[in-house]
C-alpha cells in the first residue's frame, strides 16, 4: 500500500491521455514532474508542478494549462477535488472514503517492485576492546537499516567484520606470554591498552608484537592456542551486549581472521593482473587517479613486516561476498574517519574487477559529542563503554520515573532506556555530529524514545479495554483524524525513502511526527466518553488500532520494544 505511488502513477497516466499535451511529455519533462505532499494540507493532499513545466513547449500561461489539466485529473478515481494555487500549482485532494478504506483494511505491507540482495557491513567490533560509544551508531543504524530492508522484502546478509587478526592480537599475545592467561574478558580488555601503551614507549616491545602477529597469521601453533582461548571470551561479551541492545543476530561474524583464508587467492589474482607493487618491503596497490584533487595514498596490501593488513581483509571480503552472495550492493556503516579507507578499497576492487555488478557504498558517521562539542566522555573523563552508556541512561530514566511517583519494573526501565539511547541516535542524520545529553534523551516529552513508547503504551491501553473493532457505518472525519490518516498512508513511502537514501533517520522522525498527530487526535477526539455516538466511537477506535499498527511497526524497525506500562 503506497498511496503516494498510486496517486503519482494515476496522475502521470492521466497526463499521457490528454490529447493537447501528450506529445510534449518528453522523458525530461516527465522526469521533472514532481508530485509533492504539501506541508499544510489545507488545500490538498498532493500537489504537482506539471502545468508549469509545459509552459515553454505549449506557449501558454501556466494557469491556463493548469485549468486544462485539472479537468482531466478530476476524472481520476478517488480524487475528491482538484484546484489551482499560485502561478499554476495543482492541488489534489483524496476522497475520505478512499482514505478510510485503505487504512481500515490494515494492510501496510510494502509493495516493493525490485527486490535487491544487499550485503551489510556494520558492527565490526574489535577483539580485546570493550564495545564503546564509538560503536553505537554503526550498531544501531546498521541494525535498523537491516530491519527496514528486510521489511521491504529485500534479502540482506549482515556481516560483523570483526577486528580480530591485526596488531592488537600480537600485543595481547605478547602480554599474555609475559603475564599469564587472562581469567576473564575484563582481563583481556585491560591487556590490549596496557600492551599498546608499552609499545608506544618501547620499540622492542612493538617489534615483538608485530612479529607475533605475523607468526600468528602464518599458523604458529603456540600463539594460535592462546588466541583460541581469548577469542570466545571476547565474542561472548560482544554477543551479550548486542542482546541487551536488542540487535538482530549477525548472519556472519566473518572478519579479518576468517577472511584470511581467501587472502592468498586474492593475492594470486592481484599478481596475475600485475596490480601489486613492492615498496620498501611492503606490497601496495596504487589507486590514485589523474583527476584526484585530494591525497589518495596507495592501498597497503601487506605490511613491510609481512602482516595481513586491514585493507587486505576488506578487499578480500569484497571478493568473498561477490562469490558467495553476488549482491546488488554492499553497504558499509562506519564512522567517517574511514571514508578514505573505503574510497581506496572500492577503487582497488574496481581495478581488479571484483563485484563489478554491485554498488559499493560507505555511509560515514559523525561523532557523538558532549555539550562542549568534544567527543562524549563520562564524568571521570573516560570513553564510555556501551554498557556504561545504557547504565547512565537507565539511571536517568529511573530517577525521572521515581520523581513522577510511578513504579515501573526493571524490565520496563530497561526498555525505556534502550529507546532513549537508540532513538536519539537514529533521529540524527548519520553524517552529522550530535550532542549527547542524558537529560534530554530521557525526557518523556519531545522528540525522544520515551515519548514514542509512551504514545504506543497509551494506544495499547485504549485497545485493551475494547473487544473486536469493526466499522459498519461511515461518518465524517474531523481535520485531526484526517491528518492522522493521511500520515499513516505515508508509511510505506517513508520506509522506501529511508531505504533508498540509506537514512534510517527519516523513519525515526516519521515515528515522532506520527506520535504528535496521534496525541493531537487523542486530545481533540474523545473516544470513550458517554456522549460519543457508537458509530463515531468505532471509527475512532479503528483509527487508534491502525495508528498503533503503523507505530508498532516503526518501533520494531528501530529495534525498540513497547513496555506493558509506562
Ligand atoms: N574494526 C574496525 C574498527 O573498529 C571497523 C570495521 C568496519 N568494517 C570494515 N569492513 N572495515 O575500526
- C-alpha 352/C-alpha 348 separation (Å) is 6
What pLDDT band is residue 517 in, cutting at 50, 70 and 90? Answer: very high
Does residue 507 contact residue 64 with C-beta atoms inside 8 Å?
no
Residue 124 C-alpha to ligand 1 middle, in angstroms? 5
Cβ contacts of 340 within 8 Å, gap of 6 or more = 296, 297
pLDDT at 379: 82
Residue 126 C-alpha to ligand 1 middle, in angstroms? 8
Closest residue (by CA) to atom 9 of ligand 1?
161
More confidently predicted of 1 and 148: 148
Pocket of ligand 1, beta carbon within 6 A: 121, 124, 126, 161, 163, 314, 332, 334
Cβ contacts of 150 within 8 Å, gap of 6 or more = 156
Residue 160 C-alpha to ligand 1 middle, in angstroms? 9
Q: What is the mean pLDDT of residues 101-116?
A: 93
Please give the span between the terminal C-alpha atoms of the chain, in angstroms, as a whole number.
Answer: 32
Closest residue (by CA) to atom 2 of ligand 1?
124
| C-alpha grid cell, residue 552 | 508498532
pLDDT at 86: 86
The DSSP annotation for 523-547 comes to HHS-SS-TTS-HHHHHHHHHHHHHH
Indicate which atom in ligand 1 lies nearest the CA of residue 334: 7
- C-alpha 82/C-alpha 370 separation (Å) is 50
Is 185 buried (19+), middle (13-18) or exposed (0-12) by CB count in 10 A?
buried
- C-alpha 190/C-alpha 205 separation (Å) is 17
Closest residue (by CA) to atom 5 of ligand 1?
124
Indicate which atom in ligand 1 lies nearest the CA of residue 134: 4
Closest residue (by CA) to atom 11 of ligand 1?
314
- C-alpha 112/C-alpha 101 separation (Å) is 21
Residue 334 C-alpha to ligand 1 middle, in angstroms? 7
Q: What is the mean pLDDT of residues 399-421?
A: 96
Q: What is the mean pLDDT of residues 244-267?
A: 97
Residue 342 C-alpha to ligand 1 middle, in angstroms? 10
Indicate which atom in ligand 1 lies nearest the CA of residue 310: 11
- C-alpha 414/C-alpha 207 separation (Å) is 45
Does residue 549 contact residue 485 with C-beta atoms inside 8 Å?
no
Question: What does the buried/exposed string (b/e) look like for 333-366 if buried means 16 or more CB atoms within 10 Å of the residue's CB?
Answer: bbbbebeebbbbbbbbbebbebbeebebebbbbe
Residue 131 C-alpha to ligand 1 middle, in angstroms? 12
For the segment 418-432, what is each residue's pLDDT rounded down to a tens digit? 999 999 999 999 999
How far CA 150 is from CA of 147, 156, 351, in Å, comes to: 5, 7, 31
Is residue 283 predicted with pLDDT exceeding 90?
A: yes
Indicate which atom in ligand 1 lies nearest the CA of residue 255: 10
pLDDT at 298: 97
- Percentage of the chain lying above the pLDDT 70 cut: 100
Is residue 1 predicted with pLDDT exceeding 70?
A: no
Q: What is the mean pLDDT of residues 255-270?
A: 97
Instruction: Give the 3-state secondary structure of residue 485.
Output: helix
φ, ψ of residue 43 in degrees (nearest 5):
-95, -15
Is residue 42 predicted with pLDDT exceeding 90?
A: no
Q: Residue 180 carries which DSSP code?
A: -
Q: Helix, strand, coil shares of the chain as percentages rounded to 5?
A: 55, 10, 35
Pairing of strands 117-121, 329-335: parallel
- C-alpha 316/C-alpha 345 separation (Å) is 10
Own/partner long-range contacts of 527-532 (Cβ < 8 Å, ≥24 apart):
527/462, 528/462, 528/465
How far CA 69 is from CA of 43, 55, 95, 115, 484, in Å, comes to: 17, 12, 19, 35, 29
List, in sequence order, the alpha helices (H) in 156-296: 167-179, 185-201, 203-217, 221-244, 256-259, 263-272
Is 329 buried (19+), middle (13-18) or exposed (0-12) by CB count in 10 A?
middle
- C-alpha 514/C-alpha 479 separation (Å) is 15
To test the ligand 1 pocket, which listed residue (338, 340, 362, 365) has its Cβ within 8 A of the most ligand atoms? Answer: 338
Does residue 345 contact residue 133 with C-beta atoms inside 8 Å?
no
Where is 435: in which H helix or E strand?
strand 434-435
Query: Residue written as cell 513496555?
Result: 563
Q: What predicted TM-score, i.e. pTM, was given to this entire model?
A: 0.95
pLDDT at 375: 92
C-alpha dihedral, 492 to 496 to 498 to 501, nearest 10°: -160
Indicate which atom in ligand 1 lies nearest the CA of residue 163: 1
Amino acid at each position: 500500500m503506497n498511496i503516494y505511488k498510486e496517486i503519482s502513477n494515476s496522475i502521470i497516466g492521466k497526463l499521457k491521455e490528454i490529447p493537447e499535451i501528450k506529445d510534449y511529455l518528453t522523458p525530461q519533462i516527465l522526469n521533472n514532474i514532481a508530485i509533492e505532499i504539501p506541508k499544510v494540507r489545507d488545500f490538498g493532499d498532493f500537489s504537482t508542478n506539471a502545468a508549469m513545466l509545459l509552459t515553454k513547449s505549449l506557449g501558454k500561461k501556466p494557469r491556463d494549462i493548469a485549468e486544462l489539466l485539472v479537468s482531466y485529473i478530476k476524472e481520476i478515481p478517488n480524487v475528491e477535488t482538484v484546484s489551482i494555487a499560485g502561478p499554476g500549482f495543482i492541488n489534489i485532494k483524496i476522497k475520505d472514503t478512499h482514505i478510510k478504506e485503505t487504512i481500515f483494511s490494515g494492510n501496510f505491507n510494502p509493495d516493493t517492485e525490485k527486490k535487491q540482495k544487499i550485503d551489510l557491513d556494520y558492527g565490526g567490533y574489535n577483539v580485546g576492546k570493550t564495545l564503546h560509544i564509538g560503536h553505537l551508531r554503526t550498531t544501531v543504524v546498521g541494525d535498523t537499516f537491516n530491519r527496514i530492508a528486510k521489511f521491504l522484502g529485500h534479502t540482506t546478509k549482515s556481516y560483523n567484520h570483526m577486528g580480530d587478526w591485526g596488531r592488537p592480537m600480537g600485543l595481547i599475545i605478547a602480554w599474555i606470554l609475559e603475564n599469564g592467561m587472562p581469567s576473564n574478558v575484563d582481563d583481556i580488555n585491560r591487556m590490549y591498552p596496557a600492551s599498546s601503551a608499552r609499545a608506544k614507549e618501547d620499540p622492542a616491545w612493538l617489534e615483538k608484537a608485530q612479529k607475533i602477529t605475523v607468526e600468528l597469521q602464518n599458523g604458529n601453533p603456540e600463539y594460535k592456542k592462546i588466541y583460541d582461548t581469548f577469542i570466545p571470551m571476547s565474542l561472548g561479551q560482544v554477543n551479550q551486549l548486542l542482546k541487551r541492545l536488542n540487535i538482530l543476530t549477525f548472519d556472519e561474524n566473518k572478519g579479518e581472521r576468517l577472511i584470511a583464508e581467501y587472502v592468498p587467492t586474492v593475492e594470486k589474482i592481484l599478481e596475475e593482473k600485475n596490480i601489486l607493487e613492492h615498496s620498501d618491503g611492503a606490497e601496495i596497490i596504487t589507486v590514485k587517479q589523474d583527476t584526484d584533487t585530494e591525497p589518495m595514498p596507495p592501498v597497503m596490501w601487506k605490511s613491510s613486516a609481512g602482516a595481513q593488513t586491514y585493507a587486505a581483509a576488506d578487499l578480500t571480503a569484497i571478493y568473498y561476498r561477490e562469490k558467495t552472495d553476488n549482491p546488488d550492493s554492499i553497504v558499509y556503516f562506519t564512522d567517517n574517519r574511514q571514508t578514505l579507507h573505503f574510497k581506496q578499497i572500492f577503487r582497488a576492487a574496481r581495478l581488479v574487477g571484483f563485484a563489478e555488478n554491485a554498488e559499493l557504498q560507505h555511509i560515514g558517521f559523525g561523532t557523538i559529542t558532549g555539550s562542549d562539542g568534544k567527543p562524549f566522555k563520562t564524568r571521570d573523563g573516560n570513553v564510555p563503554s556501551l554498557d556504561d552508556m545504557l547504565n547512565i541512561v537507565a539511571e536517568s530514566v529511573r530517577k525521572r520515573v521515581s520523581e513522577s511517583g510511578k513504579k515501573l519494573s526493571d524490565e520496563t526501565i530497561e526498555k525505556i532506556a534502550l529507546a532513549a539511547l537508540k532513538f536519539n541516535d537514529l533521529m540524527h542524520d548519520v553524517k552529522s555530529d550530535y550532542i549527547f545529553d542524558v537529560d534530554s534523551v530521557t525526557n518523556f516529552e519531545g522528540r525522544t524514545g520515551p515519548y514514542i513508547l509512551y504514545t504506543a503504551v497509551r494506544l495499547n491501553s485504549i485497545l485493551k479495554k475494547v473487544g473486536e473493532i469493526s466499522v459498519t457505518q461511515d461518518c465524517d472525519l474531523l481535520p485531526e483524524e484526517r491528518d492522522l490518516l493521511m500520515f499513516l498512508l505515508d508509511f510505506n513511502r517513508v520506509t522506501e525513502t529511508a531505504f533508498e537514501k540509506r537514512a534510517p533517520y527519516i523513519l525515526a522522525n516519521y515515528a515522532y511526527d506520527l506520535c504528535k498527530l496521534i496525541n493531537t487526535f487523542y486530545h481533540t477526539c474523545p473516544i470513550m466518553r458517554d456522549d460519543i455516538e457508537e458509530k463515531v466511537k468505532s471509527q475512532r477506535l479503528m483509527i487508534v488500532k491502525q495508528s498503533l499498527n503503523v507505530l508498532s511497526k516503526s518501533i520494531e524497525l528501530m529495534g525498540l520494544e513497547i513496555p506493558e506500562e509506562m
